[in-house]
Amino acid sequence: LIIPDITNPFFPELARAVEDTAKSLGYTLILGNSYSEGEKELQYIEILKNRYVDGIIFASHQLRPGEVNKLVRMNIPIVTLDRAVDSGLENVPSISVNNYLGAVTGVEHLISIGCKNIAHISGPYHLRTSLERLRGYTDRLKNTLMFHASYVVQGDFSVDRGLQATRQLMDENPEIDGIFAANDLMAIGALKALIRLGKKVPDDVALLGFDGIQMTQFMEPEISTVAQPIYEMGALAVRQLVSLIDKREIGKQVEELQGQLIQRASTLRRR
Ligand code: RIB
């Protein structure tokens, strides 16, 4: 399993599911962390190729289709996880959450509790997962009077960027009363910024994340999130990979699982 950022709790939760399922099917997990560096991912491929691994699950985001297709041509079974299938990877199964619908659900929830000026702190634009969440946010708001391009700020999935982006948003648009962060770590950073600004969550600004990592429950107030079916995604990726290894037919090439809104104190209906 190649993950892009072991310091983000989303990926260790994914790795646990992969390891549990691999073990139950008689396989051992080798874990590589690429820190989102394409070069490192290519090095891992060389190492794994020479160690005759049975298959590779990429939960990374950097490889270009040409590089992955080189592997496919070497008959190394591959599955991509947490990303939609990029063009040119048609014969590589992929498992992810339905990022678009998850974002629409999240924005719907903020509207339902009375938010009128909803901002979005997106993931990095080079990732399909970020663009799909941004598209869901934009599509849900574009036919209403609530959409303002200045309410969207590009983030990088880190706590610090969530904090900085929230400071910038509130400084430039003090009327914002809802923030949808494209992942939970940025939502945690946003909470810190809002508290420092003296804002009450959710009474002044409601806050929603995405991923469903446990850490959102340790915050005060606890942060609502659109939870990805992390364990299910990891387990399904292993099952798909083992089917490829055993040269059995697999189900759908592209599996997009349903996200689930988990409402907590940060979006409780405001008085
Ligand atoms: O938090 C890390 C993010 O990177 C997750 O949302 C995951 O889906 C990936 O896009």
Task: Using only the alpha carbons of the chain, give its radius of gyration.
Answer: 19
Report the percentage of the chain scoring pLDDT > 70: 96
Residue 226: its pLDDT value, please?
98
- Candidates 183, 188, 225: which one to mutate for ligand 1, based on the most atoms within 8 Å of Cβ? 183
Which ligand 1 atom minimizes the distance to the CA of 130? 10
Residue 80 main-chain phi, psi, to 5 deg = -105, 145
Paired strand residues for 94? 80, 254
Whole-prediction pTM value? 0.94
pLDDT in tens, 104-145: 999 999 999 999 999 999 999 989 999 999 999 999 999 788
Paired strand residues for 119? 179
Question: Rounded to the nearest whole angstrom, what is the distance from the C-alpha of residue 228 to the centroid of ligand 1?
Answer: 9
**What mean pLDDT is predicted for residues 199-206?**
97
Q: In this model, does residue 146 exceed pLDDT 70?
A: yes
Q: In this model, does residue 169 exceed pLDDT 70?
A: yes
Q: Which amino acid is at 48?
A: L
Paired strand residues for 256? 96
- Candidates 2, 61, 82: which one to mutate for ligand 1, based on the most atoms within 8 Å of Cβ? 82
Which residues have any ligand 1 atom within 6 Å of their CB?
8, 10, 82, 123, 127, 129, 157, 183, 185, 210-211
Q: In this model, does residue 25 exceed pLDDT 90?
A: yes
Distance of CA 194 to the CA centre of its chain: 23
pLDDT in tens, 75-100: 889 899 997 656 556 678 999 999 99
**Residue 231 — very low, low, confident or very high, per pLDDT cuts 50/70/90?**
very high
Q: In this model, does residue 9 exceed pLDDT 80?
A: yes
- B/e letters for 165-191, b = 16+ CB within 10 Å, e = fewer, are bbbebbeeeeebbbbbbbbbbbbbbbb
Closest protein CA for atom 1 of ligand 1: 183
Question: Rounded to the nearest whole angstrom, what is the distance from the C-alpha of residue 271 to the centroid of ligand 1?
Answer: 32
Q: Which residue has the tokens 């702190």?
A: 121
